[in-house]
Structure 1
């Protein structure tokens, strides 16, 4: 009886153990998984290569843009230096003309002019004839050289007048009007000087000398005691040419007048 019970117990134990054993694991298809991984790796490698190529192209384009920008900045800097040098040259010439037109320096010239007064009409006629015989650029250069090289300021006046009469539509006409106005200004011929500056201001709005002529026109009106007109012209210089040297000079004049 005891053996029979023991046998039943053993059968129950072994049956429970059999039921508790894990289910058999099914093997995964290793070759299929490897193919899927290889496909993913190829896609990733292709995308990485494409990204590298795009980045390289972007780097090359950025380098080209930087090079072009540097070249443009260099050209702009060189142009600004040329324009600044031109402005300095004009101011230096103005200072020299004004210095030689002072009473202490013009007395010998006046004496020499009186000694040769009989020759002046003939000289003016010769200047007009010579200008007509010269080319446009040569006639202008000759008039300018009378100021810069020869210091013959009185002779330069009829030379510029003849040039403007012979070549009224010349590209040098704006500068010729300015030089002529400056020469007359230094002789204190305010009305004639103002006419030259006003001609430049009205006829040649794109001239590089317009700001200077506008300022000088204001000075002319100030010398003629037309203070309201002078202030208006100085303010116009500051409004239309705020970054110019003429604007700074006009501002100083306005402050001194107030």
Structure 2
């Protein structure tokens, strides 16, 4: 492969890597902020309990002394209320960040696949198959076209780009067409997953859950199952069904303990009361 072509691939990989760092760093900072705010809230609550103990003590007979204690309790109560508000804001940001990290992870999976395709095309242009060095050159395997004569990569990429641009209806149509035309394609599980993401983006959470459940049902060996299960758990939370949300999130932790989705599921479970 020519040096400049290798450089293109390396630049793309570097861009993808940097793109993934920011949300994760923000997520860690928010977790630290939440821990700090919660600790301060607990400390204030302990101080209130101590002051209330003094107030109940019969030896505290001075009316002025009791008034001062009441004022201190009131001030501490205001501080606790403010911290509670701060904690709710941080938890909201954490939830939003969870969604962003999950979605970003799935985008990176698709981008990694595109990198492989790009490497194969560059290698083919050089007269070598991807991954070969001294081996004999071989032409890349042609992609099977669908009934409409379209290339599967083109159909998938158009649908995916529509999703990235927020055109969920167009993306839905594209991914559904992809599954109809190429039901056994390598990216069929991904297409099914993104159908669920499209419904989630449209806030049609029940339809999102149905679509995401089909990933495991139709593609039991797919690497997308953990991501689909996690997203379905988030969808149940949007529907205020905490019982099913917890069940789905725990399934991710139990069945995929070493995955990035398991880490996100644990974080979300910790915020559900």
State TM-score, norm by structure 1. 0.48
Length-normalised TM-score, structure 2: 0.45
Q: Which has the higher helix share?
A: 1
Report the structure number with the largest CA radius of gyration. 1
